[in-house]
A and B are shown apart, each in its own frame.
Chain A
Amino acid sequence: MAFDTQYTNQEFKVVGKRVLRPDGIDKVTGRARYGADMNAPGQLVGRILRSPHAHAKIRAIDTSKAEKLKGVKAVVTAADLPDLTRGDMGMYDTLENCMARGRALYDGHAVAAVAAIDADIARKALKLIKVDYEILPHVTDVDEAMKPGAPIVQPRIRTVGVNPAPTKPSNISQVSEFGHGDLDAGFAEADVIVEKSYKTEQTHQGYIEPHACLASVGPDGQAELWVTTQGPYMQRNTCAALLGLEVAKLRVTASEIGGGFGGKTHVWMEPVALALSRKANRPVKLVLTREEVFRGTGPTCSTSMDIKIGARRDGTITAAQAVLRYQDGAFPNIWGMLGAMTAWACYDLKNVKATAYDVLVNRPKVAAYRAPSAPMAAFGVESTMDLVAAEIGMDPVELRIKNAAKEGTRASYGPTYGPIGIGPTLEAAKNHPHMKAPLGANQGRGMACGFWFNFGGQTCVDLNIGQDGTVNLAVGTVDVGGARASLSMIAAEELGIPYEKVKCIVADTASLGHNDTTEGSRGTFSSGMATVFAARDAVRVLRERAAKTWDIPVDRVEWRDGKAHAFGDEHGNLAPLSLEELAAKAARTGGPIAGHNEIVADGAGVSFATHICDIEVDPETGKSRILRYTVIQDAGKAIHPDYVEGQFQGAAAQGIGWALNEEYIYGADGRLQNPGFLDYRIAVCSDLPMLDTQILEIPNPNHPYGIRGVGETSIVPPLAAIANAMSNAAGVRMTHTPMSPPRVLKAIREAHGA
């Protein structure tokens, strides 16, 4: 059944209200079941042995002693995960990342795993496994990895995207380029040219719930996996491929999720848990420690970049260039490419270019992290924008307004924009009272903008009406940010019933068709679209049942306010039939009443944000304190404003932590020195002021409700907003994140002397 996805400016009764969240009580009372909260009879405890070396050849692994330990039921190594990937290099990399195959590529790379009857025995068994390593030279810094003579991380890699195709291995896995116009001509037209280099250190998503799963594989090839993940179908498809299982026979259930932010869009230890279970013929529960989460799962990239902007005195940017170097960890990816695509997306530029290098280093495989790759590029671009503004003596907001992209602008990464929110968020910032608030000594204000694409993709929804007229909505996108509330609201809106009558669940992979992973802020956009259509499908059935009850043509029945109404001269006097009444009689009118929808949700609307930040810097210690912070973002349509504000705040909070203190610290030995929340410093509650939000609603023309994704964009501006504020507070231009007190104090000393 085809549906029209166009925005219709429908009037809402439920959507836009701040209804109670359906998962609240379970979460605050501890009843919610997360990854580690499921148990099975006879389950074993799984544990993973990890490489202490950044780069090593694995000559041999002796598991015999561990196998002999009483209580150990299975020990697995790469030998138990044979290569079934048939030349699919992406899948092979995933396999190798789950379990080292003859070489360890980073500190924390899994090399073996055990399943035992209790945690104590599992721990002892790990100590009995002897791995014979031949230590190889390693490289962990992105700039070092690009130098000739750097240790090669993946000898198979030949740089993609350069002409002629190279014949020698390189740590540069890919070079990508975006843009248009003539840079040289553009810079020649400029009155001022500002060039600056930047670095950002590696950060982790820092979700509070560690990875956890319960895996069970029977001797008949039927398997189940309970797991904390953003993508149960991704888990199913990947694990089935790696273990040689049939997709339909591996049932994956997504647990309640304690944060993912992109880090749970990949498989990590789940194939290992399944392999252990298969070998032991018992269910295996595998829960990572925090240290393992830091060392063995995917953070985002560290980067290094050069930004160059040319502008006329009137503020017109004549040329803009970015050269971006992103490290992807030990496996090739496209994170640099995404950085290049997002770098200049906020602006309408005649001559623009972004070149990205995706670089391999001996660090964990990089995973998505909320608007992956965009924050770093924006740090460089938005910091340089402020430098340009200062150079020509223009207000930073005015400079951005003058160059802001608008409807019809050809984006630097290719497409031509429809209606977009960068201009409106900038105007809102300009007029925001925050911009005029007084500042004290050592205090400064900064602002910055951010962009994120948002995704759509494959989606499938079932809507079933119970005999009392209440409604079950089964979706396949994991609820990472309140989607169950929003989707229930959409179903209630379409059916014309109260929100409380709808119960939304995230179905397991055997109960619903394929759904792409909840990433790219696609959950509410795509499942929201499918819910609209599934509800309309159910309404069609309801009208048919009413027509049948009344014995009139269905085209004489309309659905309004949760009831079927007959209309026209002949039928207008029939009393309406409510959803409850139709549901109660369903058995006699044709059976269960349901609506379904399967789509590829296209047309995810791009999203923009502008942030304002006030900061105070202690000139004697370099310590900074965020005094006030305002997030202004385009939501398309805020289905549940509380959740939208929560997403804005959460994204900004993560960006602030990243900007100020978070970083992976590697020693000269290539080992991660701070794999814990004590020394990997995310922002704590008392570090932050109340983060103010302002929701703008510029409807996405490609969604019936105008929805755009809202979850990611606001992690993009904070790095530069803070750097710009710091520059105004302390007179130092920070070009390296985190802008931690030792770095800031050093910069202050260098700028102003002791």
Chain B
Amino acid sequence: MRYESPKTTKEAAGLLAKAKGNAFVLAGGTDLLVRLKSEVIDPDLIVDIKRIPAMQGVTKTAAGFRIGAATSCAELGENAALKKAWPGVVEAATIIGSDQVQGRCTVVGNLCNASPAADSVPAMVAAGAKAVIVGPKGRRTVGVEKVVAGPGKTTLKKGEVIEAILLGKGGAKTGDAYLRFIPRTEMDIAVVSAGICLTLGPRGIIKEAKVALGAVGPTVEIVSAATKVLVGSTLDEATLEQLAVVCSAACRPIDDKRGTIEFRTEVAGVLARRAAKIAYQRAGGK
């Protein structure tokens, strides 16, 4: 097994492109190293991206925020501006595992691990986050929902690596929220989850809405019916009820050791309802 820690994104992409056998990007390693230790994977090459300056830290840009791929989730939690603009995304990133895990793990690793239950992904999708991908053929930017193909699978091509996540500015009229269901209080994987982002127009009327559910299908489920239900409303009780119904209807979960179809379907609606209330308040709604 070869270990490399390049200094530039291009170098990293080059190493991955040329690699023979199993090559893996190493960010925080909280998924990768666990799989390595439990002998699920047998890598020939590991490319550690934590020494690449272009992948470090959160920066403010003209369009909003840029989160370097090697930035730990704990750092997101320490960034006041990001937290103010995208509290839902930051919450999702900082409920992963525990303090120790958050000190290492990244949202890009969370995305690329491609677990249907990944916490930060529904929140990023709802917030309209984009991924900057660097590969042998250059650079492209796609919505994060385009990165995941299915459980454990991404759409990244050989030699491609994500350099950063981009988020908009947010704003006083925009609010996001993320809730997950776990049987315990921490150190758990979402049984079902909901990320919601709302933008309000005048008089508290919802102008834009995006709802993304986690762990109810092979990839994050963007519920377009929920957008229809929410937009134009002031999030009254009837809307909330309807939101729960359409979210439950959008679920395509499985029965597994973490939960039943029945449970996931019902609780998806409950979480969507509760997350919508939080997002609405954050967007200045009353």
Residues in chain A near residue B267, CB distance under 8 A: 620-621, 741, 745
Q: Complex Cα distance A678/B183, Å?
A: 12
| B185 and A681 within 8 A (CB) | no
The contact size tier of chain A is 20 to 34
Residues in chain B near residue A621, CB distance under 8 A: 181, 267, 270
Q: Complex Cα distance A746/B38, Å?
A: 35
| A684 and B189 within 8 A (CB) | no
Q: Complex Cα distance A681/B257, Å?
A: 11
Q: A291-B38, A673-B257, A679-B257 are in contact. Are A661 and B184 (CB under 8 A)?
A: yes
Q: Is A683 at the interface (CB under 8 A from chain B)?
A: yes
Q: Is A674 at the interface (CB under 8 A from chain B)?
A: yes
Q: Is B75 at the interface (CB under 8 A from chain A)?
A: no
Q: Complex Cα distance A740/B183, Å?
A: 7
Question: Which A residues from 674 to 690 make CB contacts under 8 A with B?
Answer: 674, 678-679, 681, 683-684, 686-687
Q: A674-B257, A745-B263 are in contact. Are A623 and B186 (CB under 8 A)?
A: no
| A620 and B183 within 8 A (CB) | no
Residues in chain A near residue B188, CB distance under 8 A: 678, 681
Q: Is B260 at the interface (CB under 8 A from chain A)?
A: yes
Q: Complex Cα distance A681/B185, Å?
A: 11
**Main DSSP-derived SS at the A contact region:** loop
Q: Complex Cα distance A623/B179, Å?
A: 14
Q: Is B237 at the interface (CB under 8 A from chain A)?
A: no
Q: Is B236 at the interface (CB under 8 A from chain A)?
A: no
Q: Is B208 at the interface (CB under 8 A from chain A)?
A: no
Q: Complex Cα distance A745/B261, Å?
A: 12
Encoded as 1 (CB less than 8 Å from any A CB) or 0, chain B from 187 to 227 comes to 11101000000000000000000000000000000000000
| A678 and B181 within 8 A (CB) | no
Least CB distance, A664 to chain B, in whole angstroms: 10
| A661 and B185 within 8 A (CB) | no
Q: How many A-B pairs fall under 8 Å by CB?
A: 54
- Of A123, A291, A678, A741, which contacts B189 at CB under 8 A? A678
| B257 and A665 within 8 A (CB) | yes
| B263 and A623 within 8 A (CB) | no
| A686 and B186 within 8 A (CB) | yes
| A741 and B262 within 8 A (CB) | no
Q: Is A82 at the interface (CB under 8 A from chain B)?
A: no
Residues in chain B near residue A660, CB distance under 8 A: 183
| A687 and B259 within 8 A (CB) | no
| A687 and B184 within 8 A (CB) | yes
Q: Is A742 at the interface (CB under 8 A from chain B)?
A: yes
Q: Which residue, A621, A745, A746, has most C-beta atoms of chain B within 10 A?
A: A621
Residues in chain A near residue B38, CB distance under 8 A: 289, 291
Encoded as 1 (CB less than 8 Å from any A CB) or 0, chain B from 243 to 286 comes to 00000000000000111101100110010000000000000000
- Of B39, B257, B260, which contacts A123 at CB under 8 A? B39
- Please name the residue on chain A nearest to B269 by beta carbon: A620
Residues in chain A near residue B258, CB distance under 8 A: 679
| A741 and B263 within 8 A (CB) | yes
Residues in chain B near residue A291, CB distance under 8 A: 38
| A742 and B257 within 8 A (CB) | no
- Please name the residue on chain B nearest to A661 by beta carbon: B183
| B183 and A745 within 8 A (CB) | no
Residues in chain A near residue B184, CB distance under 8 A: 661, 681, 683-684, 686-687
| B183 and A623 within 8 A (CB) | yes
Least CB distance, A148 to chain B, in whole angstroms: 30
Q: Complex Cα distance A745/B270, Å?
A: 12
| B186 and A742 within 8 A (CB) | no
Least CB distance, B233 to chain A, in whole angstroms: 21
| A742 and B270 within 8 A (CB) | no
| A684 and B260 within 8 A (CB) | no
Question: Which A residues from 33 to 50 make CB contacts under 8 A with B?
Answer: none
| B263 and A742 within 8 A (CB) | yes
Q: Complex Cα distance A178/B59, Å?
A: 73
Question: Which B residues from 98 to 119 make CB contacts under 8 A with A?
Answer: none
Q: Complex Cα distance A665/B255, Å?
A: 13
Least CB distance, B2 to chain A, in whole angstroms: 15
- Of A665, A674, A681, A746, which contacts B183 at CB under 8 A? A681
Residues in chain A near residue B186, CB distance under 8 A: 684, 686
Residues in chain A near residue B185, CB distance under 8 A: 684, 686-687
Question: Which A residues from 84 to 114 make CB contacts under 8 A with B?
Answer: none
Q: Complex Cα distance A730/B258, Å?
A: 22
Residues in chain B near residue A622, CB distance under 8 A: 263
Q: Complex Cα distance A289/B39, Å?
A: 11
Residues in chain A near residue B260, CB distance under 8 A: 742, 746
Given contacts A660-B183, A684-B185, A684-B186, 4 further A-B contacts (CB under 8 A): A620-B270, A661-B183, A683-B184, A741-B181
- Point out residues on B near A: beta carbons under 8 Å: 38-39, 181, 183-189, 191, 257-260, 262-263, 266-267, 270
A-B contact pairs, 28 of them (CB 8 A): A123-B39, A289-B38, A621-B181, A621-B267, A621-B270, A622-B263, A623-B183, A660-B183, A665-B257, A674-B257, A679-B189, A679-B257, A681-B183, A681-B188, A684-B185, A684-B186, A684-B187, A687-B184, A687-B185, A741-B183, A741-B191, A741-B259, A742-B260, A742-B262, A745-B266, A745-B267, A746-B260, A746-B262
